[in-house]
Chains A and B, each alone.
Chain A
Amino acid sequence: MSTLTGKVAVVTGASKGIGAAIAKSLGAAGASVVVNYASSKAGADVVVDAITKAGGKAVAVKGDVSKPADAQAIIAAAIKAYGKLDILVNNSGVYEFGALEAITPEHFHKQFDVNVLGLLLVTQAAVKHLPKGGSIINIGSLVSRITPPGSSVYSATKGAVDVITGVLSLELGSRGIRVNALNPGLVETEGTHTAGFIGSDFDKQHAASVPLGRIGQPKDIADAAVFLASDDAGWINGQLINAAGGAR
């Protein structure tokens, strides 16, 4: 794996699932990690424990990315704890499927506020601290490309993440900051278990459409995130990378 020795990373929504795996991998690669959580303090503490017990550095920081004051506080906590910031992983996200007929402003705002506005607010707070060589990784989703029925709003938020990634890669490139999207397919997490995806027809159908013949695990995504965060990816900017075993 690439090395992140001496770098400081913020991972939003890192109390479980993909975010937790990314935080742990960044920690294992040598980065000091701010493990952000919105509600699950216990989950975030478990992640911090795992990193520190393996000899790494991490702190848990509460904050709802969709609130400007919280977004600022998450970044301020990183600067306070570690003095600088090199890597931002915008991983916080919620999903809720709903057929067209069932879409409500609440369903819409809930997902756009966290998945898109929250991403912008944290990036806004982070960018004044990011140096040349800084890396922003937006965790999108394969749904922006496969557009499953009943996912209009969720897929739209992830389409927006793709576009923002392209825009910010142009906007921040001249400052030496790279911005990429890492877009997982279906990944087995606490969240996808709770939502009933794992073992469902959707799961089986999806696995059958994946050339590598299985669904993803959080570590699959985390390994790719470490690369994108590292200087080994120094020439990779503005890319939407599907981490999905070849599914489209």
Chain B
Amino acid sequence: MSTLTGKVAVVTGASKGIGAGIAKAFGAAGASVVVNYASDKSGADKTVDTITKAGGKAIAVHGNVSKLEDAQAIIDAAIKAYGHLDILVNNAGVFEFSPVEAITAEHFHKQFDINVLGLLFVTQAAVKHLGKGASIINIGSLASAGTMPGSAVYSATKAALNAVSTVLAAELGPKGIRVNALNPGGVITEGSQAAGFTDDNPFVKTMIAGTPLGRLGQPHDIATAAVFLASDDAGWITGQLLNAGGGAR
């Protein structure tokens, strides 16, 4: 794996699932990691424990990314703990599926506030600390391809994330800051299991059948790619929407 020695990273929504996988891989690669969580303190503490027990550095920091002052506080905590910031992973996100007939303003705002506005708030707070060589990774989704019935709002938030990624790559490039989206396909996490996306779910079966590598993803699959994008080995990669989905589209 690429090295992140001496770098400081913030991972939002890192108490479980993909975010926790990324935080742990960053810690293992040598970064000091701020493990952000919105509600699951014990999950975040577990992530921190895993990193520190493996000899790495990490702290858990509470904050709801969709609140401006929380977004600021997450970044402030990174600077206070480690003195600088090099890597931001905008991973915090929620998903909620609904057929078009059932879409409500609440369903819309809940997802757009966290998945898009929250991403912008945290990035806004981070960017004044990020310098040449810094890396922002936005965790999107293959859903942005817009092929999943019942996911209009969720998929729209992820399409927005793609657009924000390429806009910010152009906007922050002159400062030497790279911005990429890392877009997982179906990943087995606590969240997806709780939502009923288990192996016997017909939707999951279809998803596996549509994946050339023939399985669902694991958080670790996404985390190893995130370590690359965070590292100087990806120094020439910016503005990319990288699907991490085993070839699924």
Contact = CB atoms under 8 A, between A and B. Distances in A.
B2 A2 contact: yes
Interface in A214-248: 216, 220-221, 223-224, 226-227, 231-239, 241-246, 248
Given A173-B247, A213-B174, A223-B234, A236 B239 contact: no
Contacts of A221: 236
Contacts of B236: 212, 216, 220-221, 223-224, 243-245
B238 A226 contact: no
A246 B214 contact: no
Contacts of B217: 235
A176 interface: yes
A245 B246 CA distance: 25
A170 B212 contact: yes
A227 B212 contact: no
A211, A213, A235, A236, most chain B CB atoms within 10 A: A235
B239 A242 contact: yes
A1 interface: yes
B243 interface: yes
A7 interface: no
Contacts of A242: 237, 239-240
A200 to B, nearest CB: 21
Size category of the binding interface on chain B: 35 or more
B242 interface: yes
B169 interface: yes
A17 B2 CA distance: 24
Nearest to A172: B212
Contacts of B176: 212
Contact of B222 (A220, A227, A235): A235
A234 B242 contact: no
A224 B173 contact: no
A206 to B, nearest CB: 14
B239 A211 contact: yes
A224 B238 CA distance: 12
A231 to B, nearest CB: 8
Contact of A248 (B2, B237, B239, B247): B239
A224 B228 CA distance: 8
Interface in B192-249: 211-214, 217, 221-222, 224-225, 227-228, 232-240, 242-247, 249
Given A237-B246, A245-B238, A174 B173 contact: no
B228 A232 contact: yes
A212 B234 CA distance: 13
A248 B165 CA distance: 14
B173 A173 contact: no
Given A232-B224, A237-B246, A223 B233 contact: yes
A241 B227 CA distance: 16
Contact of A211 (B174, B228, B244, B245): B174
Nearest to B3: A1
B79 interface: no
A213 B245 CA distance: 31
Interface in B142-201: 166, 169-170, 172-174, 176, 178
A178 interface: yes
16 contacts: A1-B2, A1-B3, A3-B1, A170-B247, A173-B214, A174-B214, A212-B236, A220-B236, A223-B233, A223-B236, A227-B233, A232-B227, A233-B228, A235-B222, A236-B225, A245-B173
Interface of B: 1-3, 166, 169-170, 172-174, 176, 178, 211-214, 217, 221-222, 224-225, 227-228, 232-240, 242-247, 249
Given A220-B235, A235-B244, 7 more contacts: A1-B2, A3-B1, A170-B247, A212-B176, A216-B236, A233-B228, A248-B166
Listed from nearest, the 6 A-B pairs whose CB atoms lie closest are A173-B212, A211-B173, A235-B221, A220-B236, A237-B247, A246-B238
